[in-house]
Amino acid sequence: MNRNFIVAAISVLAAGSALAQSSVTIYGRLNVSAEQQKNVNVVGTQSVLQNSASRIGFKGTEDLGGGLKAGFVLEHGFDVDTGLATGSRDTPPKGFWARQSEVNLSGSFGMIRLGNFTSEAYYATADYISMHNHDTGTSADVLYAYLGRDINKIAYRTPELVKGLTLEAAVSAGEGVAGRVKSYDAAANWNLGALQLGAGYQKNGSAEQFAVRALYEMGPMVFGAYFQDDTDGFGTGLGNRKTYRVSAAYNVGASEFHLNYGMADDYSRLANSDATQWTLGYNYNLSKRTKVYAFYSTVDNSSAFSYFGATNTQGRAQDPKIMAVGVRHNF
Protein backbone atom coordinates (compact mmCIF):
# COMPACT_ATOMS: atom_id res chain seq x y z
CA MET A 1 0.00 0.00 0.00
CA ASN A 2 1.26 3.48 -0.87
CA ARG A 3 3.00 5.05 2.14
CA ASN A 4 1.59 8.52 1.38
CA PHE A 5 -1.91 7.07 1.34
CA ILE A 6 -1.39 5.53 4.81
CA VAL A 7 -0.10 8.85 6.21
CA ALA A 8 -3.06 10.69 4.69
CA ALA A 9 -5.54 8.18 6.14
CA ILE A 10 -4.02 8.47 9.62
CA SER A 11 -4.19 12.29 9.38
CA VAL A 12 -7.88 12.18 8.45
CA LEU A 13 -8.66 9.83 11.35
CA ALA A 14 -6.72 12.04 13.78
CA ALA A 15 -8.55 15.13 12.55
CA GLY A 16 -11.88 13.36 12.94
CA SER A 17 -11.00 12.40 16.51
CA ALA A 18 -10.11 16.02 17.35
CA LEU A 19 -13.31 17.32 15.80
CA ALA A 20 -15.36 14.82 17.79
CA GLN A 21 -14.04 16.40 20.99
CA SER A 22 -14.63 20.01 19.92
CA SER A 23 -17.67 22.09 19.04
CA VAL A 24 -18.14 25.59 17.61
CA THR A 25 -21.48 27.41 17.50
CA ILE A 26 -22.41 30.47 15.44
CA TYR A 27 -25.12 32.53 17.10
CA GLY A 28 -26.53 36.03 17.03
CA ARG A 29 -29.39 38.46 17.32
CA LEU A 30 -30.82 41.16 15.10
CA ASN A 31 -32.98 43.63 17.00
CA VAL A 32 -34.21 46.82 15.36
CA SER A 33 -37.20 49.12 15.85
CA ALA A 34 -38.87 52.08 14.15
CA GLU A 35 -39.22 54.81 16.76
CA GLN A 36 -40.71 58.21 17.37
CA GLN A 37 -38.33 59.85 19.85
CA LYS A 38 -38.71 63.10 21.77
CA ASN A 39 -35.69 64.74 23.45
CA VAL A 40 -33.37 61.82 22.70
CA ASN A 41 -29.91 63.19 21.79
CA VAL A 42 -31.53 66.38 20.50
CA VAL A 43 -34.27 68.67 21.86
CA GLY A 44 -37.44 67.99 19.89
CA THR A 45 -38.98 65.07 18.02
CA GLN A 46 -37.39 62.78 15.45
CA SER A 47 -38.14 59.48 13.68
CA VAL A 48 -35.33 56.92 13.69
CA LEU A 49 -34.48 53.30 12.98
CA GLN A 50 -33.05 52.17 16.33
CA ASN A 51 -30.58 49.32 16.78
CA SER A 52 -30.78 47.37 20.06
CA ALA A 53 -27.63 45.35 20.78
CA SER A 54 -27.56 43.33 17.56
CA ARG A 55 -24.64 40.93 17.36
CA ILE A 56 -23.06 37.87 15.78
CA GLY A 57 -20.83 35.52 17.72
CA PHE A 58 -18.78 32.36 17.74
CA LYS A 59 -18.33 30.15 20.79
CA GLY A 60 -16.77 26.77 21.23
CA THR A 61 -15.41 24.19 23.64
CA GLU A 62 -12.78 21.48 23.46
CA ASP A 63 -12.85 18.47 25.76
CA LEU A 64 -9.30 18.09 27.09
CA GLY A 65 -10.07 14.96 29.06
CA GLY A 66 -10.36 14.33 32.78
CA GLY A 67 -13.28 16.76 33.04
CA LEU A 68 -11.17 19.71 31.82
CA LYS A 69 -12.52 21.86 28.96
CA ALA A 70 -11.16 24.83 27.03
CA GLY A 71 -13.57 27.37 25.63
CA PHE A 72 -13.77 30.68 23.82
CA VAL A 73 -16.28 33.39 22.89
CA LEU A 74 -15.87 35.97 20.12
CA GLU A 75 -18.80 38.39 19.74
CA HIS A 76 -19.16 41.26 17.29
CA GLY A 77 -21.74 43.97 17.90
CA PHE A 78 -23.10 45.91 14.94
CA ASP A 79 -25.75 48.47 14.08
CA VAL A 80 -28.37 46.96 11.77
CA ASP A 81 -29.21 50.45 10.50
CA THR A 82 -25.66 51.47 9.48
CA GLY A 83 -23.52 48.33 9.66
CA LEU A 84 -21.06 50.08 12.00
CA ALA A 85 -19.44 48.22 14.89
CA THR A 86 -20.78 48.65 18.42
CA GLY A 87 -19.69 47.05 21.66
CA SER A 88 -17.62 47.56 24.76
CA ARG A 89 -17.90 50.73 26.81
CA ASP A 90 -14.10 50.70 27.14
CA THR A 91 -12.68 50.42 23.64
CA PRO A 92 -13.41 53.37 21.34
CA PRO A 93 -13.05 53.13 18.40
CA LYS A 94 -15.01 49.90 18.47
CA GLY A 95 -12.99 46.78 17.71
CA PHE A 96 -14.53 43.94 15.74
CA TRP A 97 -14.83 41.74 18.85
CA ALA A 98 -15.56 44.62 21.22
CA ARG A 99 -18.73 43.05 22.66
CA GLN A 100 -16.87 40.01 23.98
CA SER A 101 -13.60 38.18 23.41
CA GLU A 102 -12.50 35.65 25.98
CA VAL A 103 -10.79 32.31 26.47
CA ASN A 104 -11.60 30.09 29.44
CA LEU A 105 -10.78 26.81 31.20
CA SER A 106 -13.43 24.91 33.14
CA GLY A 107 -13.73 21.75 35.18
CA SER A 108 -14.79 20.50 38.58
CA PHE A 109 -12.91 23.48 40.07
CA GLY A 110 -15.17 25.99 38.26
CA MET A 111 -14.14 28.32 35.42
CA ILE A 112 -11.25 30.71 34.83
CA ARG A 113 -11.91 33.44 32.25
CA LEU A 114 -9.50 35.87 30.56
CA GLY A 115 -10.32 38.70 28.14
CA ASN A 116 -13.10 41.21 27.46
CA PHE A 117 -16.59 40.49 28.82
CA THR A 118 -19.57 42.19 30.49
CA SER A 119 -19.80 42.50 34.27
CA GLU A 120 -21.41 39.52 35.98
CA ALA A 121 -22.57 41.91 38.72
CA TYR A 122 -24.73 43.61 36.10
CA TYR A 123 -26.08 40.31 34.73
CA ALA A 124 -26.95 39.18 38.27
CA THR A 125 -29.01 42.29 39.05
CA ALA A 126 -30.21 44.92 36.56
CA ASP A 127 -30.15 42.78 33.41
CA TYR A 128 -31.86 39.84 35.12
CA ILE A 129 -35.17 41.66 35.72
CA SER A 130 -35.25 43.69 32.48
CA MET A 131 -37.37 41.17 30.68
CA HIS A 132 -39.14 42.93 27.80
CA ASN A 133 -36.18 43.76 25.52
CA HIS A 134 -33.13 42.34 27.32
CA ASP A 135 -32.18 45.79 28.69
CA THR A 136 -31.30 47.16 25.26
CA GLY A 137 -32.06 50.18 23.08
CA THR A 138 -33.97 53.27 24.17
CA SER A 139 -35.99 51.38 26.80
CA ALA A 140 -32.84 50.12 28.57
CA ASP A 141 -32.36 50.80 32.28
CA VAL A 142 -30.60 54.20 32.34
CA LEU A 143 -30.63 54.59 36.15
CA TYR A 144 -28.40 51.61 37.06
CA ALA A 145 -24.80 52.68 37.75
CA TYR A 146 -22.57 50.37 35.67
CA LEU A 147 -19.00 50.67 36.99
CA GLY A 148 -17.30 47.57 35.66
CA ARG A 149 -14.48 47.86 33.11
CA ASP A 150 -15.05 45.19 30.47
CA ILE A 151 -11.48 44.90 29.16
CA ASN A 152 -8.22 43.34 30.49
CA LYS A 153 -10.18 41.04 32.81
CA ILE A 154 -9.36 37.91 34.79
CA ALA A 155 -12.34 36.18 36.42
CA TYR A 156 -13.11 33.06 38.41
CA ARG A 157 -16.54 31.40 38.61
CA THR A 158 -17.18 28.72 41.22
CA PRO A 159 -18.93 25.44 40.50
CA GLU A 160 -22.38 25.07 42.09
CA LEU A 161 -21.62 25.43 45.82
CA VAL A 162 -25.03 24.44 47.14
CA LYS A 163 -28.15 23.83 45.12
CA GLY A 164 -28.40 26.64 42.56
CA LEU A 165 -25.70 28.91 44.08
CA THR A 166 -22.67 30.16 42.10
CA LEU A 167 -20.23 33.01 42.74
CA GLU A 168 -17.95 34.96 40.39
CA ALA A 169 -15.21 37.53 40.97
CA ALA A 170 -13.17 39.52 38.43
CA VAL A 171 -10.40 42.11 38.30
CA SER A 172 -9.56 44.39 35.38
CA ALA A 173 -5.91 45.43 35.15
CA GLY A 174 -4.87 49.05 34.65
CA GLU A 175 -2.03 47.95 32.34
CA GLY A 176 -0.03 51.10 33.03
CA VAL A 177 -2.55 53.48 31.43
CA ALA A 178 -2.36 56.90 33.10
CA GLY A 179 -5.30 57.49 35.46
CA ARG A 180 -6.59 53.92 35.13
CA VAL A 181 -6.64 51.82 38.28
CA LYS A 182 -7.69 48.22 38.77
CA SER A 183 -11.44 47.71 38.81
CA TYR A 184 -13.23 44.93 40.71
CA ASP A 185 -16.48 43.09 40.16
CA ALA A 186 -18.23 40.27 42.04
CA ALA A 187 -21.56 38.51 41.67
CA ALA A 188 -23.73 35.84 43.26
CA ASN A 189 -26.64 33.97 41.67
CA TRP A 190 -28.90 31.60 43.61
CA ASN A 191 -31.60 29.75 41.68
CA LEU A 192 -34.20 28.27 44.06
CA GLY A 193 -36.73 27.30 41.40
CA ALA A 194 -39.57 29.80 41.29
CA LEU A 195 -37.48 32.22 43.40
CA GLN A 196 -34.20 33.46 41.92
CA LEU A 197 -31.85 35.74 43.88
CA GLY A 198 -28.77 37.71 42.90
CA ALA A 199 -26.25 40.25 44.14
CA GLY A 200 -23.49 42.30 42.55
CA TYR A 201 -20.60 44.53 43.65
CA GLN A 202 -18.34 46.78 41.56
CA LYS A 203 -15.52 49.20 42.39
CA ASN A 204 -13.64 51.41 39.95
CA GLY A 205 -11.52 54.10 41.58
CA SER A 206 -13.72 56.29 43.82
CA ALA A 207 -16.89 54.84 42.25
CA GLU A 208 -18.50 51.91 44.04
CA GLN A 209 -21.85 50.13 43.92
CA PHE A 210 -23.70 47.22 45.51
CA ALA A 211 -27.02 45.77 44.33
CA VAL A 212 -29.37 42.92 45.21
CA ARG A 213 -32.07 41.33 43.06
CA ALA A 214 -35.03 38.97 43.34
CA LEU A 215 -37.24 37.42 40.68
CA TYR A 216 -40.29 35.27 41.36
CA GLU A 217 -42.24 33.18 38.85
CA MET A 218 -45.89 32.50 39.65
CA GLY A 219 -47.51 30.65 36.76
CA PRO A 220 -47.90 33.09 33.85
CA MET A 221 -46.83 36.02 36.07
CA VAL A 222 -43.20 37.01 36.69
CA PHE A 223 -42.18 39.69 39.21
CA GLY A 224 -38.70 41.19 39.59
CA ALA A 225 -36.98 43.91 41.60
CA TYR A 226 -33.53 45.24 42.44
CA PHE A 227 -32.04 47.76 44.86
CA GLN A 228 -28.72 49.53 44.23
CA ASP A 229 -26.61 51.74 46.48
CA ASP A 230 -23.80 53.58 44.66
CA THR A 231 -21.20 56.25 45.32
CA ASP A 232 -20.03 58.48 42.42
CA GLY A 233 -21.64 56.08 39.96
CA PHE A 234 -22.31 58.75 37.34
CA GLY A 235 -19.37 61.06 38.09
CA THR A 236 -16.68 61.93 40.62
CA GLY A 237 -17.84 63.95 43.63
CA LEU A 238 -21.58 63.26 43.30
CA GLY A 239 -21.78 61.36 46.58
CA ASN A 240 -24.19 58.60 47.49
CA ARG A 241 -27.47 57.59 45.79
CA LYS A 242 -30.05 54.80 46.05
CA THR A 243 -31.90 53.31 43.08
CA TYR A 244 -34.93 51.01 42.98
CA ARG A 245 -36.57 49.11 40.12
CA VAL A 246 -39.54 46.75 39.84
CA SER A 247 -40.74 44.80 36.81
CA ALA A 248 -43.62 42.51 35.96
CA ALA A 249 -44.54 40.28 33.02
CA TYR A 250 -47.69 38.37 32.13
CA ASN A 251 -47.17 35.62 29.55
CA VAL A 252 -50.20 34.08 27.86
CA GLY A 253 -49.99 32.07 24.66
CA ALA A 254 -47.70 33.88 22.23
CA SER A 255 -48.20 37.22 24.00
CA GLU A 256 -46.06 38.90 26.65
CA PHE A 257 -47.18 42.01 28.55
CA HIS A 258 -44.43 43.94 30.37
CA LEU A 259 -44.26 46.79 32.88
CA ASN A 260 -41.01 48.20 34.28
CA TYR A 261 -40.57 51.11 36.71
CA GLY A 262 -37.38 52.58 38.21
CA MET A 263 -36.62 55.43 40.61
CA ALA A 264 -33.27 57.04 41.52
CA ASP A 265 -32.87 59.33 44.54
CA ASP A 266 -30.87 62.57 44.50
CA TYR A 267 -27.12 62.22 44.76
CA SER A 268 -26.12 63.47 48.21
CA ARG A 269 -23.94 66.26 46.76
CA LEU A 270 -26.15 67.26 43.81
CA ALA A 271 -29.64 68.60 44.47
CA ASN A 272 -32.35 67.99 41.84
CA SER A 273 -30.57 64.95 40.41
CA ASP A 274 -33.35 62.39 41.05
CA ALA A 275 -35.22 60.68 38.21
CA THR A 276 -37.85 58.07 37.40
CA GLN A 277 -38.22 55.78 34.38
CA TRP A 278 -41.01 53.52 33.25
CA THR A 279 -41.71 51.32 30.25
CA LEU A 280 -44.88 49.61 29.05
CA GLY A 281 -44.20 46.87 26.48
CA TYR A 282 -45.88 44.12 24.45
CA ASN A 283 -44.12 41.22 22.70
CA TYR A 284 -45.69 38.69 20.34
CA ASN A 285 -43.74 35.48 19.68
CA LEU A 286 -43.98 34.49 16.02
CA SER A 287 -41.70 31.52 16.80
CA LYS A 288 -39.16 30.45 19.42
CA ARG A 289 -36.60 32.73 17.77
CA THR A 290 -38.61 35.69 16.43
CA LYS A 291 -40.67 38.35 18.19
CA VAL A 292 -42.45 41.49 17.13
CA TYR A 293 -42.85 44.07 19.85
CA ALA A 294 -44.03 47.55 20.78
CA PHE A 295 -43.27 49.76 23.76
CA TYR A 296 -43.65 53.21 25.25
CA SER A 297 -40.84 54.43 27.51
CA THR A 298 -40.10 57.69 29.30
CA VAL A 299 -37.56 59.15 31.74
CA ASP A 300 -38.57 61.99 34.07
CA ASN A 301 -35.33 63.87 34.81
CA SER A 302 -34.99 66.55 37.46
CA SER A 303 -33.54 69.84 36.26
CA ALA A 304 -29.90 69.38 37.33
CA PHE A 305 -29.03 65.99 35.85
CA SER A 306 -29.93 64.07 32.68
CA TYR A 307 -29.71 60.29 32.87
CA PHE A 308 -30.88 59.97 29.28
CA GLY A 309 -31.83 62.49 26.64
CA ALA A 310 -30.93 66.02 25.72
CA THR A 311 -30.40 69.27 27.62
CA ASN A 312 -31.75 72.59 26.39
CA THR A 313 -29.73 75.76 25.72
CA GLN A 314 -30.01 76.71 29.41
CA GLY A 315 -28.47 73.37 30.38
CA ARG A 316 -31.66 71.99 31.91
CA ALA A 317 -32.35 68.29 31.50
CA GLN A 318 -35.22 67.33 29.22
CA ASP A 319 -37.54 64.33 29.57
CA PRO A 320 -37.18 61.77 26.75
CA LYS A 321 -40.25 59.91 25.49
CA ILE A 322 -40.13 57.01 23.02
CA MET A 323 -42.77 55.07 21.10
CA ALA A 324 -41.46 52.04 19.19
CA VAL A 325 -42.39 48.98 17.14
CA GLY A 326 -39.72 46.43 16.29
CA VAL A 327 -38.58 42.94 15.37
CA ARG A 328 -36.10 40.76 17.25
CA HIS A 329 -34.70 37.59 15.67
CA ASN A 330 -32.28 35.19 17.35
CA PHE A 331 -30.22 32.64 15.43
Q: For residue 13, is it within any domain?
A: no
Task: Give the integer Cα–Cα distance in Å for 233 and 148.
Answer: 10
At residue 109, the 3 state secondary structure works out as: coil
CA distance 228 to 328: 29
Q: Which of 132, 290, 293 is nearest to 224 (CA)?
A: 132
> Does position 113 have pLDDT exceeding 70, yes or no?
yes
Q: Does residue 248 sit within a domain?
A: yes
Structural domain includes residue 15: no
Position 21 scores a pLDDT of 61
Tens digits of residue pLDDT in 149-162: 899 999 999 999 99
Domain that holds residue 292: 24-330
134: in domain? yes
Of 281, 147, 126, nearest to 199 by C-alpha is 126
| pLDDT tens, position by position, 173-197 | 988 888 889 999 999 999 999 999 9
Instruction: Using alpha carbons, select from 280, 263, 190, 185 the residue that is nearest to residue 225.
Output: 263
2, part of any domain: no
pTM for this predicted structure? 0.89
Which residue(s) pair with 114 in the sheet? 103, 154
We report the CATH number of the domain holding residue 260 as: 2.40.160.10
Structural domain count of the chain: 1
Q: With respect to residue 10, please indicate whether it lies within any of the assigned structural domains.
A: no
> Is 111 within the bounds of a domain?
yes
Q: Give residue-wise pLDDT tens across range 46-77.
A: 999 999 999 999 999 999 999 999 999 999 99
pLDDT value, residue 11? 45
Residue 1 lies in a domain: no
